[in-house]
Structure 1
Amino acid sequence: MGAGNHTGVSQFLLLGLSDNPELQPLLFGLFLSMYLVTVLGNLLIILAVSSDSHLHTPMYFFLANLSFVDICFVSTTIPRMLVNIQTQSKGISYIGCLTQVYFLMIFAVMDSFLLTVMAYDRFVAICLPLHYTVIINPRFCGLLVLMCWFITFWVALLHILLLRQLTFCTGTEIPHFFCELAQILKVACSDTLINNIFLFVATGLLGVFPLTGILFSYSRIVSSLMRISSAAGKYKAFSTCGSHLSVVSLFYGTGVWIYLTSAVTHSPQRSSIASVMYTVLTPMLNPFIYSLRNKDVKGALGRLLSRGAPCLRWATDLRTKWTL
């Protein structure tokens, strides 16, 4: 095919994190380990919440949804990257790239929405404790999560429909290890003004507004805690927010850091390395933050693993008998 514009381009080339062949086995092992830890950690959180009756509360319902979204988030990017490294191929089909963009946007925005909903849950629990069970009821929680999914599906779909209107040059290279919307817009061969405007508006509505809601919730929480005279009461109330606040700081802190890094350095390679923070590192650390800082989750995980230990010993004994 020629070097001109081509609306039916068959594939893009993902340049990845490094062109050095000697680093490829190291990158493969590192990202495979991080992927397995992320999936296992978040899966344990989901199993602990679903199997322990003590965690059948709105806060942990949202946490289980957050863990599910994190599993889907990393599964959208890392397996494809590992396949490309293993096969020494940089290609990704046009449809595959758009599909990756679609699901990446869904799960990234859902992360933001769920963190906002969890902040609202803590606000009601601490500032309006007498009305908590009336406001944060199971039906309301389910509708809230469904509404978040509905909004993200349609916003991501609009991005893809606008992206489909663009033309791309054959052999287009994306300086990233996954198909990121901003990077794709930069390498398009046609005018991307409408796409950039919609991206700016969507980022403002779906990024800035949730963050504003989180900051407002915690400002009210801090204000309520300041009126509590007992130091033990303050510590107990704030300890329920510690894990969530840590995850919020990690999620939005890495996002701001990536934005500043991209704006200052203008280096695609450094930008892709910085993207590892929110696409891989943040979902991997979330289960550890909640299990280490939250006594309820830690206790539920302990009970879950203790129930699984007898089954593991039984399977080991059975395998030993068959071997003999």
Structure 2
Amino acid sequence: MAIDIKALKEAVQSAYAQHHAAPGGENASYIPYLANVPSTLSGVAAVTVDGDIVAAGDSDFQFAIESISKVCTLALALEDVGPDAVQDKIGADPTGLPFNSVMALELHEGKPLSPLVNAGAMATVSLVKASSVEDRWSRILGMQSQLAGAQLALSDDVNHSEQTTNFHNRAIAWLLSSAGSMYCDPMEACDVYTRQCSTLLTTVQLATMGATLAGKGRNPLSKLQVMKPAHTRYVLAEMTMEGMYGRSGDWAYTVGLPAKSGVGGGILTIVPGLMGIAAFSPPLDPTGNSVRGQLMAAAVAQTMGYNLYAA
């Protein structure tokens, strides 16, 4: 399917104009850094598999990647251990409970079920092949950067804010270890997971990540084949099942595209074979998804007629 770039530009501009100041939601308050990001910020961008970039609003503002980082580490784990091991050790099903739920682990005998909730994300970190904690971190940061087509960096401020408030995740890591679902030192996994959530990127860079996944692992800007083409479908499947947390089913029902949110305000949406659509705005709904980001990303997809289930 050919992309009408003029129509895409109009869709992005219209989505921004309609929704960049939509009311509702609050910044994540349990991470001090996120609570202080200006809540008026909004940006939306689309990057195609051919490298076309369309953006509006605060699309160059750097924000914390947060849980969208789980997609990147999943991609690396698929490269390291393969899809069968990921499905066996982590899972591919929604938990039906909040992203930081301890009860979900207890109900399923310590198996996290999804790499896109906190328990599964830490277990996924532990699957990454590494000789040391710094090697593990370096490889994960490298995957983030390769997907984004830019050298991303850790924010010391975000990391400090997260590391000093991550006691709940530390407890989850120990529960995973006690159940045999952790594959390195649990505190190493928790530390690296916290770091991976603390990198900064722009909405355009996030959309480039999406375009890389949409293009079967080939980054449209760097031209680098970041991951095996056959592995991208597993990432998109996981995003469909749990990418928007408790609203994943509603998102599939109304938008019909794989997506992943982060409590930093980012929304990543994939149109397989065509583009990545990204949006950013800090105020979140009760589930942890950006209120305006959802509206903007959905508007672009719907205006362009993209929905996997409407073919």
* TM-score under structure 1 length normalisation: 0.30
Which of the pair is proportionally richer in helix?
A: 1
* TM-score under structure 2 length normalisation: 0.31
Q: Which has the larger radius of gyration?
A: 1
